[in-house]
Each structure stands twice: as C-alpha cells, then as structure tokens.
Amino acid sequence: MTDFLQLAHDRYSVRAFSDRPVEAEKIDVLVDAAVAAPTAVNKQPWHLWVVESPEAVERLSGLTRFSFGARVILMLGARADEAWARKYDGRNFADVDASIVGTHIMLAAHDLGLGTTWVGHFNAPAVHEAFPETEGYDLVALFPIGYPDDDASPAEHHFSRKPASELVTRV
C-alpha cells in the first residue's frame, strides 16, 4: 500500500509538456488502466477517444486553452442511458463511472513517467461538432498526455490539504 499512497501523493497536474513523443505502448497501458476501472454494476457507460494525429490534436486544442502543448489528448465521455441508476431516487452514475476511469488514467500516467491534468474547461458542443464520433456522449474531461517539461511543477496549492478531521466523520 505504501507504493500506491506514494503515487497518490506524488502525482500532480502537469500543465507544460516536452516535445518528446509518447510511445504507443504507454498509451496502450493508459487504455488498459481505463478498461480496468470499476464502474457501477460494471455497466462501463464510457468511451475514450485517443486523439493523437497532429491534425486531430490541433483541432481539439483549438477548442480549449488547456491542451498545454500535449501531442496526445485523451477525450472521455459517458452515456447516461447506458449507466446504472439507483432505483430509490434515480441517481445516474455515468459521471461517477467516468470520473473513476479518469482517475485511473491520471494515476497510471504518473506511474509511467508521463504527466496529465483533468481538463473540464472546453467547448463541448464545438467538440461534438469537430468530432462527430463523440455524439451521444456527455464529454466529461480531456486529458492532455505527455512527458512533463523540465519546468513543469505542481501548482502552488497542490500540497495544501484539509486535515482528515475536516473531511471524515466516523460514525
């Protein structure tokens, strides 16, 4: 468990990438980590698009200010109509399932020596228009992927955490 906790503490949002290309084998590992993510009732109501051709990366980067020069961007979407919903109140878990997938991607990227960050600031309707294959999915996040630039470092508040006593109640 120490290795996982160290990984969880060390990972940070990378917002500057080097020009070094990302090996296809490492992208395959990220895809495998995404597929391994647990989802409610194992419905897996998500889809991942690996945006890697220079033309597609440029097109997607034009729809957000937050691609940070990455040469690969993973685009994650979920379908509420394919997700499990809690019978008592109808709460749909598509966004939760996608969040678990995204977390797997971020932790696996760091473990591989890659960097990424969760990007939620993008024009989803424009992405649907530019990438018609995403239609029908709620676009949850973009993950620019790459090797951290030499100047990349955690954001100022990255290591600031509330104490567990403020976040956890034992009953």
Euclidean distance between CA atoms 112 and 120, whole angstroms: 23
In a domain, 158, yes or no: no
**Mean pLDDT computed over 150-156:** 91
Q: Tell me, what's the pLDDT at 92?
A: 98
**Mean pLDDT computed over 96-125:** 97
User: Which amino acid is it at 105?
Assistant: I
**Mean pLDDT computed over 161-168:** 96
In a domain, 82, yes or no: yes
In a domain, 4, yes or no: no
Strand 138-145 and strand 46-51: the pairing is unpaired
pTM score over 0.75: yes
In a domain, 125, yes or no: yes
1: pLDDT strictly greater than 90: no
The percent of residues in the chain predicted with pLDDT above 90, rounded, is 96
In a domain, 7, yes or no: no
CATH classification at residue 27: 3.40.109.10
Tens-digit pLDDT profile for residues 118-132: 999 999 999 999 999
Band the pLDDT of 2: cuts 50, 70, 90: confident
Scanning the chain, the segments in alpha helix (DSSP H) are: 2-10, 24-36, 54-61, 94-111, 124-130, 164-167
Mean pLDDT, the chain, rounded, equals: 96
**Mean pLDDT computed over 135-147:** 98
Euclidean distance between CA atoms 116 and 144, whole angstroms: 5
Largest CA distance in the chain: 54
User: Which amino acid is it at 171?
Assistant: V
- Written as one string, the DSSP assignment of 44-61 is --EEEEEE-SHHHHHHHH
In a domain, 38, yes or no: yes
Domain that holds residue 46: 14-146
63: pLDDT strictly greater than 90: yes
Count of structural domains within the chain? 1
In a domain, 152, yes or no: no
Rg for the chain, CA atoms, rounded: 17
In a domain, 127, yes or no: yes
Band the pLDDT of 159: cuts 50, 70, 90: confident
